[in-house]
Amino acid sequence: MSSKVRCQITMSLDGYVAGPDQTEDEPLGRGGERLHEWFFGSAGASDVDAEIAAEGLAGTGAYVMGRNMFGPIRGAWGDEDWRGWWGPEPPYHAPVYVLTHHARESVEMEGGTTFHFVTDGLESALAQARAAAGPDLDVQVAGGASAVNQALRLGALDEVLLHISPILLGGGERLFVDVGAPRFEIVETRASRAATHVRYRVVR
């Protein structure tokens, strides 16, 4: 099996993956939690959504994410002991490489997740993630919008699984900004009342 670099991310109909005014209390910005109603089994969600959610993490050996996705802290880390939004056992259960301009010691969590902080850019983070995942498991760019946009701009992504939520956010963090002109080929489409899930191959 050949490993891939892929991402999955939920987007509103108007192209946002998080709403405006992200805070510690509202990490996805105003209205952003509605993006993921398909994932949490809210109204309109179905077995299709549950299957997609389970498949999304399968076969992944390491992750890369932007600093904003890891937490709300900006600038130097200071004395803040922030360890992510997810509590003591994050859902990744694998190494996670966090893009940042400020060095920090790795943070080991329960369940096999360790956050490593990478200060020399996305290409370095992807190389470290590939090495950690090995030849048979994929690397996943977990988000947010800036990290996914960077990966597309670099031509680093092989596959994008886009969960399209039928809501409008009107502002926030937008996907597909300044990514050049990559070509996408639809591999699979599944849908429920809560979301449309489209898997794209990135054509090189």
Q: What is the mean pLDDT of residues 72-78?
A: 83
Residue 111: strand, helix, or coil: helix
pLDDT band at 171 (very low <50, low <70, confident <90, very high): very high
Average pLDDT, the chain: 92
The 10s digit of each residue's pLDDT in 108-162 is 999 999 999 999 999 999 999 999 999 999 999 999 999 999 999 999 999 999 9
pLDDT band at 2 (very low <50, low <70, confident <90, very high): low
**What's the pLDDT score for residue 107?**
95
Q: Which amino acid is at 47?
A: D
Q: What is the mean pLDDT of residues 47-59?
A: 89
pTM for the whole structure: 0.92
- C-alpha angle 138-141-145 in degrees, rounded to nearest 5: 160
- Which element (helix H / strand E) includes 138? strand 138-143
Residues with Cβ within 8 Å of 97's Cβ and at least 6 positions away in sequence, in order, are 62, 63, 64, 65, 116, 117, 118, 125, 126, 128, 129
pLDDT over 60 (residue 1): no
Cβ atoms 163, 195 nearer than 8 A: yes
Q: Which residue ranges form the domains of the chain, and what is each CATH number?
A: 5-16+28-70+89-195 (3.40.430.10)
Q: What is the mean pLDDT of residues 68-76?
A: 86
Distance CA 66, CA 64 (A): 7
